[in-house]
């Protein structure tokens, strides 16, 4: 057909026959198909798979192509009918020619030795994130990036993170404070709600040690301060992370219930 190779797109999924034989197409191409005769004809763009395979037919229309044409087929009458803008169009077959092609296909199958090229299995990329040292030769400043990225995208991502490493805070001390004159956050608690003080929870020694360490860090970095006779009191909750370490959270369910729903919530960060 003298097709331009630039118009052929890659296609790696194999075609599987009834005998489980597999053939990998050379590619896929989009061609304009005119079905029927004027004026009862339609023009559609249809994708065709290019296969290096001995057949008596040049082109075979599959189910997707027939669906695009909205065609109804009859193998007994060797006809295909489809709707057009004017009337119902049709494509007629030839009984004698079809029989000749069928006999030729049988003869071709007897004299041909089929060689099936099994495609090489493509290794699946690992979904485990890759650790990258943002500061070279400093194992304490590490970020994780996805391993499914292309090599060029991965290099750009690493270069971007290293060029902007100053925006990351590796410890609590690295987070600068904001003057209250600039901005201050206040809980919008409903005054009609009675303050609630949760009963103290007792933790296992392992969790209690982690809580003590985290609280000491926050006190040392001046993130929290000790208060006496609080109106609201919430327990901490320890959550196991994927790396088997503990994350300390605050059980603010009771406090959240006492705060009216915000009419202007933050946008979704994802």
- Give the 3-state secondary structure of residue 229: coil
- The third-level CATH classification (topology) of the domain covering 186-257 is HIV Type 1 Reverse Transcriptase; Chain A, domain 1 (3.10.10)
Identify the CA nearest to 234 among candidates 265, 204, 257, 217: 257
pLDDT at 222: 81
Look up the pTM and report it.
0.40
For residues 51 and 49, what is the distance between their CA atoms, to the nearest angstrom?
6
CA 144 to chain centre: 18
Q: What is the pLDDT of residue 258?
A: 92
Low-confidence ranges of the chain (pLDDT < 50): none
List the structure tokens of 134: 């943002």
pLDDT at position 126 is 66
Please tell me the predicted confidence (pLDDT) of residue 131.
Answer: 85
Query: Residue 6: what pLDDT?
Result: 80
The model's pLDDT over 89-139, given as tens digits with 9 standing for 90+, comes to: 888 877 777 777 777 767 665 555 555 556 666 666 666 788 888 888 888
Q: What's the pLDDT score for residue 125?
A: 61
> Using one digit for the tens of pLDDT, what is the confidence trace for 226-235?
888 788 899 9
Question: Is the distance from CB of 88 to CB of 71 less than 8 angstroms?
Answer: no
């Amino acid at each position: 057909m003298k097709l331009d190779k630039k118009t052929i797109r890659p296609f790696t999924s194999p075609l599987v026959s009834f005998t489980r034989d597999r053939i990998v197409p050379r590619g896929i191409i989009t061609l304009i198909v005119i079905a029927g005769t004027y004026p009862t004809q339609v023009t559609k763009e249809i994708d065709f798979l290019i296969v290096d395979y001995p057949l008596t037919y040049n082109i075979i229309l599959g189910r997707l192509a027939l669906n695009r044409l909205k065609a109804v087929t009859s193998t007994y009458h060797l006809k295909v009918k489809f709707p057009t803008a004017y009337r119902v169009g049709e494509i007629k077959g030839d009984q004698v020619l079809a029989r000749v092609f069928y006999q030729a296909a049988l003869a071709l199958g007897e004299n041909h030795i089929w060689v099936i090229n099994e495609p090489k299995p493509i290794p699946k990329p690992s979904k485990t994130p890759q650790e990258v040292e943002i500061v070279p030769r400093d194992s304490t400043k590490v970020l994780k990036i996805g391993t499914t990225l292309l090599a060029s995208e991965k290099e750009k991502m690493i270069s971007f993170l290293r060029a902007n490493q100053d925006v990351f805070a590796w410890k609590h001390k690295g987070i600068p404070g904001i003057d209250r004159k600039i901005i201050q956050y206040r809980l919008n608690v409903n005054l009609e709600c009675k303050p609630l003080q949760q009963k103290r929870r007792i933790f296992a020694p392992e969790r209690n040690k982690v809580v003590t360490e985290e609280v000491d860090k926050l006190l040392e970095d001046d993130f929290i301060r000790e208060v006496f006779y609080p109106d609201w009191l919430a327990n901490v909750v320890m959550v196991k992370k994927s790396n088997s370490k503990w994350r300390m959270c605050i059980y603010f369910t009771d406090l959240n219930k006492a705060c009216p729903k915000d009419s202007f919530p933050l946008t979704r960060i994802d």
